């Protein structure tokens, strides 16, 4: 199972639209995937007490990460970085087993011309520190607002093809590395 992490909790976010497109591409290949939507995080996880004791409502999120054969992260760019809620989510997960030897792919989306290159590279610092295995081909969707139609479809064939290649490659990568990450 590949968990597609939609990396923000902003209502009506593009990250979720791109995550849905990515899920469709995995579906077309017969690869099992699911969207882990940060909008669905239980409000109680944001209590400072959660550092010491996670609320039970967070357990399903934790377990999905631990059970995943791979994590496909979709991040927007917020002030030159990735969203704070994504870092908070990462900080709430068990370590080291959540990311140790776990395959990870990155897709960035932003209004600007770099398509969230910086947020993805910042995530690579974090996941590198945690000994995750990076899928090397990253996808950056620049000017994303102009590339999504009203139904949330990508109008850029070039970017759709990049995502198709990335999902195919990452599915293959996770299959080859299956079982290498600790399962919870």
Pick between residue 122 and residue 181 the one whose CB is nearest to ligand FMN. Answer: 122
The token pair at 124 is 């690579």
- Torsion, CA 119, CA 173, CA 35, CA 139, rounded to 10: 40
Bridge partners for 76 per DSSP: 109
Which of 45, 66, 85, 111 touches ligand FMN by CB under 6 A? 111
In the chain, what is the straight-line distance between the N-terminal and C-terminal CA atoms, in Å? 14
Pick between residue 9 and residue 33 the one whose CB is nearest to ligand FMN. Answer: 9
Size, binding site for ligand FMN by CB under 6 A: 16
> Quick check: 8 binds ligand FMN (CB under 6 A)?
yes
DSSP states along 129-159: HTTPEEPS--EEETTGGGSB-TTS-B--HHH
Which of 38, 139, 144, 181 touches ligand FMN by CB under 6 A? 144
Which of 50, 62, 78, 124 touches ligand FMN by CB under 6 A? 78
Question: From the DSSP assignment, how many helices (H) and strands (E) are in the chain?
Answer: 5, 6
Pick between residue 80 and residue 152 the one whose CB is nearest to ligand FMN. Answer: 80
> Quick check: 69 binds ligand FMN (CB under 6 A)?
no
Residues making contact with ligand FMN (CB under 6 A) = 8, 10, 13-15, 76-80, 109-112, 144-145
């Amino acid at each position: 199972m590949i968990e597609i992490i939609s990396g923000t909790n902003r209502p009506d976010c593009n990250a979720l639209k791109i995550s849905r497109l990515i899920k469709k591409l995995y579906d077309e290949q017969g690869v099992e995937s699911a969207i882990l939507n940060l909008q669905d995080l239980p409000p109680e996880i944001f209590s400072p007490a959660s550092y010491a004791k996670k609320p039970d409502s967070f357990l399903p999120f934790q377990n999905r990460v631990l059970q995943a054969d791979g994590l496909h992260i979709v991040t927007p760019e917020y002030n030159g970085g990735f969203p704070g809620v994504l870092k908070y989510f990462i900080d709430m997960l068990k370590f080291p087993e959540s990311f140790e030897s776990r395959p990870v792919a990155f897709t960035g989306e932003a209004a600007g011309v770099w398509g969230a290159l910086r947020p993805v590279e910042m995530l690579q610092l974090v996941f590198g520190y945690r000994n995750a295995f990076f899928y090397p081909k990253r996808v950056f969707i620049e000017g994303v607002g102009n590339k999504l139609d009203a139904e949330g479809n990508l109008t850029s064939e070039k970017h759709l093809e990049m995502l198709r290649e990335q999902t195919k490659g990452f599915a293959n990568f996770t299959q080859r590395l299956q079982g290498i990450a600790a399962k919870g």
